[in-house]
């Protein structure tokens, strides 16, 4: 518990934010960062207002595999082919789960 408290402390969150450019978990630290950040960084941080947590369902591993397949395909062909590769990978995973 003490390690968790430290990791979530204002001090540690600020160190992570400044030292390795991580987005802080604490809202106070995030607001402080936004107030002092360069315009580009502030714009990036403002995008957090339009996000939601990523699902943690077991099926997400198949989504990640499909994204990997598409991103691997992208430099080799075109965006449409990459999307098709993602769809094929996801369909194959879905089919395997159905059997």
The residue extents of the domains of the chain are: 2-50, 60-98
Q: What pLDDT, on the 0 to 100 scale, is given for residue 90?
A: 93
- Region 72-92: what's the mean pLDDT? 94
99 pLDDT higher than 80: no
Q: Output the pLDDT for position 98.
A: 82
pTM for the whole thing?
Answer: 0.53
Q: Chain-wide mean pLDDT for the chain?
A: 92
Confidence of residue 94 (pLDDT cuts 50, 70, 90): confident
The neighbour count for residue 41, using CB atoms within 10 Å, is 13
Which residues does 23 contact at the CB level (< 8 Å), separation at least 6? 17, 30, 45, 48
Measure the CA–CA gap between 6 and 16, rounded to whole angstroms.
Answer: 12
Do 83 and 67 contact (CB within 8 A), yes or no? Answer: no
């Amino acid at each position: 518990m003490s390690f968790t408290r430290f990791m979530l402390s204002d001090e540690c969150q600020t160190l992570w934010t400044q030292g390795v450019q991580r987005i802080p978990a604490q809202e106070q630290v995030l607001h402080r960062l936004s107030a002092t950040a360069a315009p580009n960084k502030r714009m990036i941080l403002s995008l957090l207002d339009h996000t939601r947590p990523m699902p943690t369902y077991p099926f997400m591993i198949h989504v990640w595999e499909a994204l990997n397949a598409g991103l691997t395909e992208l430099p080799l062909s075109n965006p449409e082919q990459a999307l098709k590769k993602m769809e094929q990978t996801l369909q194959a995973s879905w089919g395997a789960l159905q059997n």
